[in-house]
Amino acid sequence: MTRGSRIFAVAMVLAYSLIALEATAEEREFNESAYRWQPELSKSGPVLVTVSLKTQTAAVYRNGIKIGSCEVSSGKPGHETPSGVFYILNKDADHHSKTYGNASMPYSERLTWDGVALHAGSLPGHPSSHGCIHLPYAFSKKLFGVTHKGTTVVVSKDSPDVHVSGNHSWSFRAGGKTDFIWKPEASAGGPVSLLFSKKAQKLYVIRNGVVIGECVAKTNLFSKRVKGTSAFVFAGWKVDGKKGEARSSWIQVSGNKGHHSDTLDEWFEVDTRFQHLLQGMITPGTNLVVTSEPVTDRSRSEMGFSLLQGQKEEKAIQGGGKG
């Protein structure tokens, strides 16, 4: 075999290998073995989506019970998917990207206005996207049917799994009179999130990505957890069997495994007037992030970990998508 023939043969082998890899990726996207879906395990309650970038897997919890899981493909080197606590900003079952040549992104659920989304896509077994999180096609369709605008999505990169635990309680105590901000007209509707910063000693109320309230607050959580970030989703109210009192029930997501070993019974102390305003805002699905870090426009709990993104206007980047 001549040198030219050998080069041609190697080139053909590489070409066929690439074709085979692409075919495998496409096959996994449409292969039922790439996901599990058991909605009958929990038929109602707030939905939470978790994504592990390390294991390239996702899971869906409803009322704290896992009802689905699947393989994913996240952002490739140079286009890494950001980790953090997000909520779904909008949904489009037939989305096409203006950034990538009208590429189809079925059952797209946007996490950031600069284009990161959950959607059906190829699954080669490793990070391959431009920042989005690719899901099996059938799974993406089923997920689309149980989520809504405001559903919490936790993306983790520093641990092999995203830890979830339920029945935690947070209460709001009446504190001393202090100045606070309350501007609900700044964002008339949308998902509500709460963010407490130990560094700032403030509790922020965020609706649809806009801060509508803030107040000086105290909590006893950091007497047990010196630093870090924990995220919770409000599941509803439960009656205490011993006292007959209604107690708030929260599902904890993210945080290291040790943070899930004990059931929390914690509190925030805020101005009584702010307390009354706040309690009218908390509904099932509301998320709470408690962090030892300072709060900025792009708050970080660790390098690359985003808190409550999505503050740009949709019209600014409408129709985009990282793919």
Cα distances (Å, whole numbers) of residue 105 to 12, 230, 319 = 31, 31, 11
Looking at the structure, do residues 151 and 181 belong to the same domain, yes or no?
no
Residue at 263 is within a domain: yes
Residue at 106 is within a domain: yes
Q: What is the 3-state secondary structure (H, E, C) of 15-81?
A: HHHHHHHHHHHHHHHCCHHHEEECHHHCCCCCEEEEEECCCCEEEEEECCEEEEEEECECECCCCCC
Host domain of residue 243:
164-299
Tally of structural domains, the chain: 2
Task: Say which CATH number the domain at 249 has.
Answer: 2.40.440
Looking at the structure, do residues 128 and 231 belong to the same domain, yes or no?
no
Residues of the chain with pLDDT under 70: 1-26, 101, 158-162, 209, 224-227, 240-245, 254-256, 294-321
The DSSP call for residue 160 is S
Catalytic residues: 119, 132
Name every residue whose Cβ is closer than 8 Å to that of residue 208 and which is 6 or more positions away in sequence: 187, 189, 190, 191, 310
Cα distances (Å, whole numbers) of residue 146 to 48, 151, 157, 223, 243 = 10, 9, 25, 37, 35
pLDDT by residue (tens digit) across 188-237?
A: 887 788 888 888 889 999 887 678 999 999 988 877 665 677 788 888 88
**What pLDDT, on the 0 to 100 scale, is given for residue 26?**
61
- Look at residues 107, 130, 158 and tell me which one is the last residue of a structural domain: 158
Task: Say which CATH number the domain at 101 has.
Answer: 2.40.440.10
Looking at the structure, do residues 136 and 271 belong to the same domain, yes or no?
no
**What pLDDT, on the 0 to 100 scale, is given for residue 302?**
38
Query: Which pair of tokens denotes residue 170?
Result: 């947070």
Residue at 319 is within a domain: no
**What pLDDT, on the 0 to 100 scale, is given for residue 23?**
47
- Look at residues 132, 158, 184 and tell me which one is the last residue of a structural domain: 158
Residue at 310 is within a domain: no
Give the helix/strand (H/E) hosting 318. Answer: none
Looking at the structure, do residues 152 and 242 belong to the same domain, yes or no?
no
Looking at the structure, do residues 231 and 270 belong to the same domain, yes or no?
yes
Residue at 239 is within a domain: yes
Looking at the structure, do residues 178 and 143 belong to the same domain, yes or no?
no
Looking at the structure, do residues 144 and 90 belong to the same domain, yes or no?
yes
Residue at 58 is within a domain: yes
Residue at 3 is within a domain: no
Looking at the structure, do residues 175 and 230 belong to the same domain, yes or no?
yes
Residue 303 corresponds to which amino acid?
Answer: M
Return d(Cα 163, Cα 156) in angstroms, integer.
Answer: 10
Looking at the structure, do residues 178 and 250 belong to the same domain, yes or no?
yes
Looking at the structure, do residues 98 and 189 belong to the same domain, yes or no?
no
**What pLDDT, on the 0 to 100 scale, is given for residue 276?**
92
Looking at the structure, do residues 120 and 198 belong to the same domain, yes or no?
no
Looking at the structure, do residues 116 and 189 belong to the same domain, yes or no?
no
Query: Which pair of tokens denotes residue 266?
Result: 């914690």
Residue at 238 is within a domain: yes
- Look at residues 158, 180, 215 and tell me which one is the last residue of a structural domain: 158
Return d(Cα 123, Cα 140) in angstroms, integer.
Answer: 13
